Structure formats: structure tokens, C-alpha cells
Amino acid sequence: MRHRPLRLTLIILLLSSIVLLGASCGSEDATLKPIKLKIWRVWDEEDSLAEIIKSYRSTHPNVEFEYRKLRYEEYKNELLAAWARGEGPDIFSIPNSWVGEYRDFIAALPATLEIPKLVTQKACGFKKEQRKVVDEVKTYTAKSLAAAFVPAVASDVIFYDAKGEAQIYGLPLGFDNLVLYYNRDILDRASIPLPPKTWNELLTQVPKLVKENDAGELTQAAIALGASDNIPRYTDLLSLLMLQNGTSMGTLSEKNVFRSTLSKSTKNDEGDSFLPGAQALTFYTDLANPAKQAYSWNADLPDAFEAFTQGQLAYFLGYAYHQPQIKDTAPNLNFDIAPLPQVSLNQQTNYANYWVESVYNNSENVNQAWDFLYYATSKNAVVSYLNATKNPSALRELVAIQAEQDPEVEVFINQALTSVSWYHGRDFTKVEEVFKIMIDGVVNKEFEARDAVESAEKMINQNEKLKE
């Protein structure tokens, strides 16, 4: 009996502990703040992200999404006007060539994201309850980003902060690059069994493909090169030729200052100096010069896409997004896709043009927005988007898989690792204007290619200084 007081004391303490633990059960706030993420994009319908959003909300039920698709022509003005009103998107898409221009509006991707979420745990050993925890999500460093995505991505989305440290300003859902679309019937009639692998090979085919009427007007063209206004993405096409020819297009300093070097000379294999930029411009414009054997196109012809879909053009240089447009516009057209012709088959150079997703720096939900994008662009999540849009992948892990499983994107995927871009300044619209001046000036014999390239370099750099 003398042990009863001790036993009684232990029982009382145990009961007290249970009462205290019971009082704490459920006392922690098990709710998450409701969040709405506004997404603005240009080309894709909302259902292209439907599966990704559904999957993300299964673990983040407090996050809702508002998706808006805008016309390309109105996009820039709408973005700036909406942000000025405080009504703009949290997440927005921009072309890879616009990242430098929009960098001041973008919140850089944090290396670690702290994201509240609900988990179901045992509470007090008796029942299960939902608890709010903070999930630490490790994202990308500059090094891991370069390892995860095809090479062009790192060069396009990484810029430097005031301390000189690399920061990431966008992540791509997909990737695109130039290819050679060709009309099988036109090639067969010209007894050309295969599309060209090099530009020199193309030049040998041009006389067989070009047709003129009695008035000397082109009724069938070989390839749409040489002009500006009636050629979609003429800036990309001339840039491609310059890059393939070894042109030093420009440099970006660690202070994010971009300078064009289009007129810089280089040396060929024999050690002789030449101007690769001017040489590429001459090649391009010769295709619109009636006095040249390469003559294949002129400014009086219809838009190149229209000419191709109407069966008046043998070769059309375009992107993956052109494929469904061609099928819709000309369902009976007998066409196929080939890799881009090269200056040299020993050194493949292709041209990248794609969109990246970024987060507005004044968004109230920067971390949540980046968490969604980090998830959406990951290997497991992004597949549904790629299947819905038929876009090539930007992820290295998916390159071989997609090339094997999807013939419609095989050519694009096979070129992804050798695709590059060059402009990392603050005004790509100005670059397009300058390239038009270069092209039209040479075609109209207003100045020589060398002078045109030197003038273009000066105009680009003067504009960059104004934007600093």
C-alpha cells in the first residue's frame, strides 16, 4: 500500500500529459492561403496545360489558375498596360530573344523555394490530421540548368545580377528550331531525289526548280530567301546563315551589356581573313538578284508560306508550329521535312526560336508561380503539354525518347542539341528593323554588303546604349 501514492502520482501525470497533448491536437492552423496565378500566353490554348494544372492542384489545392491567350500583335502593349494597372499576369511567356528586354520585369528563379502545403500525419498517436508544413524545393543553379536543357536555353535565360552572380530568368515548356519543308511533287518533277544537305548543293538545284512565264515573272520558286517583307522570320534566316558562316554576332558582358560584332572579320582554314557576316548577306541577297544564277525569289511574290501551301515553292524554311498550319491550309499538299542545309556538314549549326515562361517581379506570389513553372517544365509533367501541342522538347532527357516516339518532331529534336541563338540585348524589334534595312539596301543596290553589315552593327549598338 505504501506504493499507492507514487502510482497515483504517475497516473495523474500521464493523464495530464494526454490532456495537454489532446489540447494541442488540431490547434495548429491547417489551412493554406488561397492563391490565384494568372497566366498569359500567346500561341497555345488553355487545354494544353490542363493536365499539368490538374496534377499540380492535387498537391496544392489552394492554388487556382486564370489563363488568358492573347494575340501576338497586342501582347507587348497589353502586358505593360496591365502591369501598370496592377492587373497583369503572374506568369507570362516571351520569345527567347526578348529575355534581355524584359529582364527588369522578371523575378529571377530562386535556388530554393519555400512552399507551404498540407500533409496528412498522425496526430498525438490516436488519429490522422492534416498539418501545414513548409516544403523546401531545390530548383536550378546555372550549372544544373545547362545540364538539364538543350544548350541554347542556358545561353538565353541566364543573366547576371549586380554582384555578378548568374540568375535564371525563364524556363521553357518546349523548344523549336528551323527546318527545311519541301514539296515532294515539285522535286520529283525536277528529277531531284532528295533535298539538299548543303547550301552549295541547293544552288545546283535552283535552275531545275525555278520557272518563269513569257514576261520573265517567277511562277515557281526554289526557295524563299533574299527578300524581307514576304518571308516569315527573315531575321532568323539571315542570322542562321551568318552563324553557319562563322560570324561573331555579339557579346554579352557580365554587366549584361550587349554589343553587336556583325562586321568582325575572321580567318578561313587557309589563314586568310574574310568578313563572314557580309559574305552571308551576299549569299542571302543573291537569291533575289535576277542577274545571278542563284535567282529564286523576289519582293513581288506572295508571302512565302502562302506560296508553299499553294504549290508554287519547292522549299520553305520554317518552324515546328508551321507544320499544323501547312496541314490545315493545304491538306492535300504532298510535303515532307528535312534538316537544315549547312555550310559544312562537319560543323552543324541550326537556329533556335522558342518561348520561355517567366514570373513577374511584382507578383504577390513569386515563389508559388516559380514552383508551378519548375514543376510544369519537369520531365514527368511536361510530356502532356508536348503531346498536346506537338512541340519538340527542351529537356535533354526527353530528346532521344521524343525523337523515337514522335516522327512529326523527329527532325526538330535531332537538331535541338546544335541549335543556337545570338541576341541577348534589350530590343529585338530594333534588330528586325536593322536586318530589313540590310537586306533591302543590298537588294536595291543602295550599298554593298560590307557597308550594310557595318552600318547594321552601329545601329544596333547605338540602340543598345540608349536602352542601358
- Residue 272 identity: D
C-alpha distances in angstroms, 69 versus 92, 93, 156, 176, 237? 10, 10, 24, 20, 28
Predicted confidence (pLDDT) at residue 19 exceeds the cutoff of 90: no
Least confident interval from 55-69, 119-133, 402-416, 419-433: 119-133
| Mean pLDDT along residues 109-121 | 86
Q: Tell me what pLDDT residue 324 has.
A: 94
Pairwise CA distance, residues 227 & 453, whole Å: 16
User: What average pLDDT does the segment 429-449 reach?
Assistant: 97
Q: Which amino acid is present at 462?
A: Q
**pLDDT score at 28:** 53
Counting residues of the chain whose pLDDT is more than 90, the rounded percentage is 80
Please give the share of the chain, as a percent, with pLDDT higher than 70.
92
Report the pLDDT value the prediction gives residue 129, as an integer from 0 to 100. Answer: 75
**193-204 as b/e: b if 16+ CB within 10 A:** eebbeebeebbe
pLDDT confidence of residue 201 = 98
pLDDT of residue 216: 86
Q: For residue range 172-181, list pLDDT tens digits in order.
A: 999 999 999 9
Segment 182-186 mean pLDDT? 98
Q: Which is more confidently placed, 467 or 51?
A: 51
pLDDT for 358: 98
As a whole number of angstroms, the distance between CA 74 and CA 79 comes to 9
Q: Give me the residue label for grid cell 501541342.
A: 389
Please give the pLDDT value at position 5: 55
Given this model, what pLDDT does residue 126 score? 58
- What sign does the dihedral 309-312-313-314 (CA atoms) show? positive
Quote the pLDDT of residue 60.
92
**Predicted local confidence at residue 123, as pLDDT:** 61
Instruction: Answer yes or no: is pLDDT of 12 > 80.
Output: no
pLDDT in tens, 332-365: 999 999 999 999 999 999 999 999 999 999 999 9
Lowest-confidence region among 23-32, 344-353, 376-385: 23-32
Domain ranges, ordered by start, for the chain = 35-175+355-400, 179-352+424-467
Bridge partners of 445, per DSSP, are none
Least Cα distance to 247 among 283, 197, 296 occurs for: 283
> Mean pLDDT over residues 267-276, rounded?
85
If pLDDT is split at 50, 70 and 90, which confidence band does 162 have? confident
35-175+355-400 against 179-352+424-467: fold identical: yes
Of the ranges 41-55, 108-122, 383-397, 447-461, which one carries the lowest mean pLDDT score? Answer: 108-122
Fold observed for domain 35-175+355-400: D-Maltodextrin-Binding Protein; domain 2 (3.40.190)
Between 163 and 65, the more confident residue is: 65
Identity (one letter) of the amino acid at 296?
A: S
What pLDDT does 10 receive?
45
Cell of 173: 515548356
Q: Judging by beta carbons within 10 Å of its beta carbon (0-12, 13-18, 19+), is residue 437 exposed, middle or buried? A: middle
- Bridge partners of 123, per DSSP, are 127
Global confidence as pTM: 0.89
Band of residue 464 on the pLDDT scale cut at 50, 70, 90: very high
For residue 31, name the pLDDT band (cuts at 50, 70, 90): confident
Q: What average pLDDT does the segment 369-373 reach?
A: 98
What mean pLDDT, rounded, does the chain reach? 91
Query: 179-352+424-467 maps to which CATH number?
Result: 3.40.190.10
401-417 mean pLDDT: 92
Q: From the CB of residue 462, how many other CB atoms can be counted at a distance below 10 Å?
A: 11
